[in-house]
Structure 1
Amino acid sequence: MLTLHTAALLRRDQDGESLPDHAVLVSGDRIEAVGPLAELSSAYANARVRRWPGTLGPGLLHDCPLPPAPTPRERVHALLRTGVTAVLAEHLTDPALRAAAERGDLLVLATAVAPTLRSAGRADLAVHGVDGACLVTVVAGRIAHRRA
């Protein structure tokens, strides 16, 4: 199923320009297109549309030890609540923690790579509100966290 994710503003990368009225078209776990909402809505009229408040951008890379929590699953969920969709392998040396990260579909990277929204890329997205709080985290095309 095709899904258009859109927000008031979109950033293709963390430090990029904020673009109004843009969207990300997702099919399965991949990004099909990134562009103006009007163009994508017209070209993909049957796509489900998810409108989010705030700024839509790539999921974040976590490049330090995971936050403490009682279980590995809760440690991974703590990342999802902040918009993280990728973590460096060096911080997943505990097999239980690595398994929890893999079950959550977090991207495990050997080296740091700046996340970007691009066609054919993995559909890892995050929406942050004006206060900086993460509102939604999409990992490999599925909503993994949504703030109530």
Structure 2
Amino acid sequence: MLTIHADSRGRAFAVRGEWIEAVGSPERLAAAYPRARVREWPGILTSGFVNLHGNELLEEAYHPDPREADTLGTEPLTGDVLAALTLDSARWGASARRGVQRMLAHGTVAAACEPLRNRAVRDAVRRTGLGIVGRLGRPGGVPSLDPCASGLPLDLPPEREAGSAARFAVFDVRDAAELAERGSGTCVATVVAGRLVFRRR
């Protein structure tokens, strides 16, 4: 089934399966595809983020289960706190899945990683559909689920066009400048491989 994703700034993507079939105004795409399902979002459609700290956030941090919040809190655990935890493969895999979900909630569609060494993390990430791009060495900056808070230039994939992979995000802001100022917590939806994988309630 074809779905039209339309923002409030006059831009829309027609998505069929894992691909963007057409890009244009909501009105033009609705006329071209009258039987399509239409999803209207506040803000701007973007290509989403590449989070440059994939290794640091997925296999060098533990994302507590909500049931652990009373003892471990809700923020990713690193350093000495992480070293004090006893984590088997099942807990590492579950942590990676939660980490990916938190990335998706910030409009991240891909993570930059050196090869993931932890097999449980690698398998969990692969199953989520999050894109992985290679990197050489540490990127600097501060690892953050919010790419806007890392202190590094924002890394956005190429602009989406007809024939592009259906991998994008929507942020409830007026433009890219407001997105950089307010951060990726303004994400209202993330689409990966044509699937809506995050939607702000």
* Shorter-chain TM band: 0.7 to 0.9
TM-score by length of 1: 0.83
The letter for the 2-side match of 1:3 is: T
For residue 131 of structure 2, the aligned residue among 96, 101, 107 is 107
Secondary structure, counterpart of 1:136 in structure 2: strand
Distance 1:144 1:91 in 2: 24
Output one character per residue of 1:44-85: Cα deviation in whole Å (capped at 9) or x when no partner: 111110001111111211111226313111111111110111
Identity of matched residues, %? 39
The letter for the 1-side match of 2:22 is: A
Pick which of 38-47 and 129-138 moved more: 129-138
- Gap runs ≥5 in structure 2: 65-94, 136-154, 174-181
1:60–1:115 Cα contact (<8 Å) kept: no
Structure number with higher helix proportion: 2
Distance 2:192 2:127 in 1: 11
- Gap runs ≥5 in structure 1: 10-20
Shift of 1:110: 2.1
1:66 partnered with 2:75: no
Distance 1:93 1:36 in 2: 44
For residue 97 of structure 1, the aligned residue among 121, 125, 128 is 121
The higher radius of gyration belongs to 2
Partner of 2:149: none
Structure number with higher strand proportion: 1
Secondary structure, counterpart of 1:103 in structure 2: helix
Output one character per residue of 1:22-54: Cα deviation in whole Å (capped at 9) or x when no partner: 200100011101112221111111111000111
Aligned residue pair count: 137
2:48–2:167 Cα contact (<8 Å) kept: yes
Partner of 1:16: none
TM-score by length of 2: 0.63
Distance 2:156 2:198 in 1: 22
Partner of 1:4: 4
Output one character per residue of 1:105-130: Cα deviation in whole Å (capped at 9) or x when no partner: 11111258733212111101111113
1:26 partnered with 2:79: no
Partner of 2:176: none
CA 1:113–1:59: 2 relative to 1, 3 Å: closer
Distance 1:113 1:82 in 2: 13
